[in-house]
Each structure stands twice: as structure tokens, then as C-alpha cells.
Amino acid sequence: MRALNELNIGEEATVANMRCKSRRLRDLGLVEGTKVKCVLRSPLGDPAAYKIRGAVVAIRREDASQITVEGACHE
């Protein structure tokens, strides 16, 4: 397992654990068991854009580092 912010562009994984207490992310559907795909990273690496339940959402590295994912695969 690794942190969400460690996904490379094009990799997809499933959220295993949310240590991040962001209500915004939970309201957007980012909960345990959700599939997430890294689709874009800003030139300086922060934030990164992730596809979550059909929507593309920018998440700061600070928050993404507190989300553990598993089963990462490159598509």
C-alpha cells in the first residue's frame, strides 16, 4: 500500500484508509473502497488532479499523503 500522492499519472487504485479529515473530500465521494485515478499533476507537483466517481478533483499533496491506496495499476 502507498499514499494517494505517490500515484503516477495514469495509475488507478482503490482507497484503503482515510486519515485525512477533509469533509470536502468525503462529500465528493472519496471514501474507503472508492476507485481513484491520477490524471494530472501541476508543474510543481502540487496539487494533483484525480478522477473520482466521474469527476476530476484537485487534491493538495498534504491531504493526499494522508490517504492510503492499494492495488495501483497503470492503465
* Contact present, 64 and 4 (Cβ < 8 Å): yes
Residue 75's pLDDT is what? 62
Q: What structural domains does the chain harbor? A: 2-74 (2.30.30.90)
Quote the pTM value.
Answer: 0.88
pLDDT tens, position by position, 7-47: 999 999 999 999 988 888 898 889 999 999 999 999 887 89
Rounded Cα gap, residues 44 and 41, in angstroms: 8
Q: Nearest CA to 30 among 43, 16, 40? A: 16
